[in-house]
Amino acid sequence: MKKLLHIGCGPKNKTNTTKVFAGEGWKETRLDIDEEVKPDIVTTMTDLSMIKDNEYDAIYSSHNIEHLFAHEVDIALEEFSRVLDNEGEIFITCPDMARAAEEIIKGNFLGVLYESRAGPISAIDILFGHRESLRNGQHHMAHRVGFTLKILLGLLKAHGFNTVAGTSDNMDLYVLGLIEKNSDELAESKLREHLDGLVKV
């Protein structure tokens, strides 16, 4: 059975990831900074020291890396690549800053862009973090860094992911990175598999 590290799981489990990872062939380890959601591992993305090298076949991370400070992104991505095996893969989703910037330039800073499970999302939420969560004292939900597709793919390449693919849809980025050097077509095919039936936040 393959091993999945679900980073920043919140109260969710693998059924809230992608159809690929939700399958019976994957054993999930839930990791989160918030002990209230009862993860298997309580830690930050920048400290996976309790996990051995090459321990996992895949990582799933949805709307987490934007909560890091800019200087922590490199640390987290190094940790992600370290704990994956040589054929490992990572699937990341996060806000698309380019799309948010387009809305801001149009003057649409506070208008609702889409409805999430957490409630209505505006450009200000994408830029700084979900206002309602922050209002309720969840300060770890603040956004401290942002990415465009080109920047995020470049960061993955710089930190051990030799084959990458990605796309932007609505206000989100979806990227896949493979440790192994392989064809772009394979990465794009795997990305499409994950996007088919993706559970969106």
Cα 73-155-85 angle, rounded to 5 deg = 85
At 103-150, the pLDDT tens digits run 999 999 999 999 998 899 999 999 999 999 999 998 989 999 999 999
- Find out whether 33 and 60 touch, Cβ atoms under 8 Å: no
Mean pLDDT computed over every residue of the chain: 96
pLDDT at position 198 is 76
Q: Where are the alpha helices (DSSP H) in the chain?
A: 19-22, 70-83, 97-105, 123-128, 131-135, 149-158, 184-195
What is the Cα Rg of the chain in Å?
16
CA distance 102 to 149: 14
At 57-78, the pLDDT tens digits run 999 999 999 999 999 999 999 9
Supply the DSSP string of 109-132, one letter for each residue: SSSEEEEETTEEEEHHHHHH--HH
Mean pLDDT is lowest, of 84-93, 158-167, 188-197, for 188-197
Say whether pLDDT at 199 is over 80.
no
- 169 is written with which tokens? 């849809």
Nearest CA to 199 out of 114, 119, 93 is that of 93
- Find out whether 99 and 171 touch, Cβ atoms under 8 Å: yes
pLDDT at position 161 is 98
> Domain boundaries in the chain?
2-96+145-195
Residue owning tokens 């050097």: 181
CA distance 114 to 163: 31
Say whether pLDDT at 201 is over 60.
no
> Could you tell me which residues come within 8 angstroms of residue 183 by beta carbon, excluding any fewer than 6 positions away?
163
Say whether pLDDT at 197 is over 80.
no
- Percentage of residues in the chain with pLDDT exceeding 90? 93
**What topology does CATH give the domain 2-96+145-195?**
Rossmann fold (3.40.50)
- Find out whether 55 and 81 touch, Cβ atoms under 8 Å: no
Q: 102: left (phi > 0), else alpha (psi -120 to 50), else beta?
A: alpha
At 79-90, the pLDDT tens digits run 999 999 999 999
Q: What is the value of pTM for the model shown?
A: 0.95
pLDDT at position 118 is 86
